[in-house]
Amino acid sequence: MTEPIHDYDPADALVDSEAISVFLADVHDTGDAAFIAEAMAVVARAKIRIEADGQAQESSS
């Protein structure tokens, strides 16, 4: 029996600015330009989600 494959987006784990800062610090330590570029896309997705969550909370208040 094969295990199902689940999509994982690391942006889901970046829920605040502190998490983003730690993530970016670790990424920059690699010195790998391609990895850094990919990580910046992850951060962009995380920021969009954080902003959307904030707007959703404001509208429900």
pLDDT tens digits, residue range 13-53? 999 999 999 999 999 999 999 999 999 999 999 999 999 98
- Record the pTM: 0.81
DSSP per residue over 3-34, as a string?
A: PPP----GGGG--SHHHHHHHHHHHHHH--HH
Q: Does 61 have pLDDT greater than 80?
A: no
Euclidean distance between CA atoms 49 and 36, whole angstroms: 20
